[in-house]
A = this chain, B = another copy of it.
Amino acid sequence: MQIAALEKQLDFLREIDRLKTVVRQSPLLDKSRKENSAEHSWHLAMYALLLSEYASGPVNTDRVIQMLLLHDVVEIDVGDHPIHGGSSSALQLEQESRAAERLFGLLPRPQGDALLALWQEFERAETEDAKFAKALDRFQPLLVNIFTGGGTWTENNVSLEQVFSRYGPAIKRGAPLLWVACEQWVIQHFAGRV
C-alpha cells in the first residue's frame, strides 16, 4: 500500500467534511431547517441516477453523478452563492477556481488532476454531461420551491419572470423536457399566489 497516497486521500476526505456545514438558502421539504451543500450534493446525485433519460443529449450517467458529488466542494473555501443574490462576478469565479486547485491539490497527483478537470468541465458547461449536471443543479431547487409553496422565491420576492430567466436557460439547455414540465408548475404556482 502506498501510505503516502492514502494519507493524502484521507486529508482530502477529512477536509471535505466541512461541506456539511455550508448552509444553502433552500429549505428541506419539511421546512425544519435550511439544506446544507453536502446533502444537496447527495440529492442531486440521486436525481442524476434517476433522470438521465431527460437529458438533451447522450450522457454518461456515472460521470454526471461524479460531477454532482464534487461540484460544490469549492464552497468550503468561498461559501454558497445563492441564485437570487445577483449574478456571479469574475472575482467569485476566480476564487472558486483557486479553491478547486487547493482542494483537489490535496490528493495524489493523477487522481487530483482528474477530479479538478471534472470540476472544470462542470463549470464550463459545454459537454453533454456538464450541461445535464447544470440543469439538475437548477431543477432541484426549483422543485423545492414548488413543493414548499414558495421557498426562496417568497423570501426574496422573486417574480414569475425572474424564475423563468434565472432557472429556464440552464434547465432548457440540459434537460429541455424537464423545463416543459417546470413551466407549467411555475405558472400554476404564481397563479395560486395572485
A residues at B contact (CB < 8 Å): 1, 3, 6, 9-10, 12-14, 16-21, 28-30, 32, 35-36, 38-39, 41-43, 45-47, 49-51, 54, 62, 65-66, 69-70, 107, 111, 115, 143, 147, 177-178, 180-181
Number of copies: 2
Contact present for A39 and B20 (CB under 8 Å): yes
Contacts of A143 in B (CB 8 A): 10, 13-14
Interface centre among A13, A19, A42, A43 (most CB of B within 10 A): A42
Contacts of A65 in B (CB 8 A): 45, 62, 65-66, 69
Q: Interface of chain A, helix or strand or loop or mixed? A: helix
- Bound form: Cα–Cα A54–B3 in Å: 11
Contacts of A111 in B (CB 8 A): 50
Contact present for B35 and A49 (CB under 8 Å): no
- Bound form: Cα–Cα A30–B39 in Å: 17
- Bound form: Cα–Cα A38–B19 in Å: 13
- Bound form: Cα–Cα A35–B6 in Å: 24
Candidates B9, B28, B36, B62; contact of A39 at CB < 8 Å: B36
A116 to chain B, nearest CB (A): 13
Contacts of A54 in B (CB 8 A): 1, 6
- Bound form: Cα–Cα A10–B29 in Å: 13
Contact present for B50 and A69 (CB under 8 Å): no
Contact present for B69 and A13 (CB under 8 Å): no
Contact present for B28 and A42 (CB under 8 Å): no
- Bound form: Cα–Cα A180–B2 in Å: 12
